[in-house]
Structure 1
Amino acid sequence: MSDAVRSWMEKYISAWTSNGPDDIRALFTEDAVYATRPHDRDPWTGRDQIVERWLAARDEPDEWTFEWTLVATDGDLAFVQGYTHYLGDRPSYDNLWIIRLAPDGRASEFTEWFMERRP
């Protein structure tokens, strides 16, 4: 499972960098759910909506850096801890991601927590 998570994370970071619709789409199953917070009342549902909302909220590649570690896996679930450092005057964030991977390595569910890091 850890190899599958590493592969997915590499593809996620590549998509985050490129903002290419095909790169984003390749990360998720057709009916995937992307929650931008726990218990999200309006998650991004389906690959088309995930791509649309990702691009609407996109970060440009020269605006951020990201570090991550795999905390644990449990069956098809992966738990990733990250740190997103935004350049300039934007705040930086500590992240926790829960990713449910389908057998083909794409995510069927993605939930993120992001907490502003205080200096």
Structure 2
Amino acid sequence: MTESTMAAGHIAAWMERYQAAWASNRPEDIGGLFTGDAVYETRPHDPDPWRGRQEITDRWLAARDEPGAWSFTWELLGTDGATAFVQGVTVYVEGPSYENLWVVRMDGSGRAAAFTEWFMERSKGPAPGTQLLG
């Protein structure tokens, strides 16, 4: 993977807009992230993906997080052509925290044509590799 790809030129701004949409829950912010025929998978090989800008917006709002209820940090792992690979951590104020891996396929205008997320709850135990004494 290389950083000199179309996705690399769009992903930082797209991630800023994604977080703004997550915080605002405004339909125009959400819809503006995606192409008209985009596919949003809430898990790999999702049997019921969200299809099209309107359905993505509607289902996002049905499952929305309220502003201030979460924080999110991310880093770009790499890109390949039109696809960006993003690692993130979502922390909910009154709930679990999640490790995230997002695969975002961009179009030439900076919108996502496809989005797939993997997420898993962060362990509440010791950090990986920690040896417990006792």
Q: CA deviation at 1:61?
A: 1.2
Match of 1:112 in 2: 117
Q: 2:62 aligns with which of 56, 61, 81?
A: 56
Q: 1:27 aligns with which of 33, 36, 40?
A: 33
Gaps of 5+ in 1: none
Greater Rg over alpha carbons, structure: 2
Match of 2:80 in 1: 74
TM-score (norm 1): 0.97
After superposition, the CA RMSD in angstroms is: 0.7
TM-score (norm 2): 0.87
AA matched with 1:112: E
Q: CA deviation at 1:2?
A: 2.5
Distance 2:42 2:31 in 1: 17
AA matched with 1:50: I
Distance 2:123 2:61 in 1: 27
Q: State whether structure 2 residue 10 is matched by structure 1 residue 4.
A: yes
Q: CA deviation at 1:3?
A: 3.6
Q: State whether structure 2 residue 97 is matched by structure 1 residue 92.
A: yes
Secondary structure of 1:39's aligned partner? coil
Gaps of 5+ in 2: 1-6, 125-134
Provide Cα deviations, 1:46-81, integer angstroms capped at 9, x if missing partner: 000000000000001110000000000000000000
